[in-house]
């Protein structure tokens, strides 16, 4: 195809420019994503954590999530309302890392209610709770009102 090195170099230079232009147009897709969709206080002793609509794939993503959560709660002992996004999921590495990180924080979590939106979320929550239930009270719900009512007990 290429008869000389200058032609080969010219081809790569031209394609590199196209690649850079493509990356600039689609910068949002390669930019780092926020660990949470939202993180706010529901009341004085409950933090509402809304997870993003994506698959959490790495230990680094989990580390970012807990770093942001730790900075937000500042070591306070709180209840958690965890709201799953429509497409929230985690691979095995991320799920195991989340379990390990929550175990480290077992003295500051009073209780955790998980608001699920699909059957897949229920399955993932059952797996999660199987390993975490002994650490602090935890339960999943389909309705937000029921989750908030249950958290008020603690």
- Name the band, by pLDDT with cuts 50, 70 and 90, for residue 8: very low
Average pLDDT over residues 101-124: 85
Which residues are bridge partners to 113 per DSSP? 81, 139
pLDDT of residue 95: 81
| Spans of all domains in the chain | 1-31, 38-151
Q: Kindly give the pairing relationship between strand 78-83 and strand 46-50.
A: parallel
Q: Kindly give the pairing relationship between strand 46-50 and strand 38-43.
A: antiparallel
Report pTM: 0.71
The predicted-structure confidence for 102-111, as pLDDT tens digits, reads as follows 889 889 999 9
Per CATH, the number for 38-151 is 3.30.750.24
């Amino acid at each position: 195809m290429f008869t000389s090195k200058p032609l080969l170099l010219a081809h790569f230079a031209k394609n590199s420019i196209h690649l850079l232009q493509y990356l600039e147009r689609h910068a949002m897709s390669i930019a780092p994503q926020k660990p949470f969709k939202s993180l706010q206080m529901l009341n004085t002793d409950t933090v509402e954590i809304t997870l993003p609509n994506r698959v959490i794939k790495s230990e680094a993503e989990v580390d970012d999530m807990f770093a942001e959560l730790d900075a937000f709660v500042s070591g306070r002992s709180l209840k958690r309302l965890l709201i799953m996004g429509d497409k929230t999921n985690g691979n095995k590495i991320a799920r195991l890392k989340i379990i390990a990180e929550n175990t480290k924080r077992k003295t500051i979590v009073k209780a955790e209610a998980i608001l699920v939106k699909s059957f897949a979320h229920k399955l993932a929550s059952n797996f999660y709770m199987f390993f975490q239930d002994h650490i602090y009270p935890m339960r999943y719900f389909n309705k937000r009102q029921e989750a908030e009512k249950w958290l008020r007990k603690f």
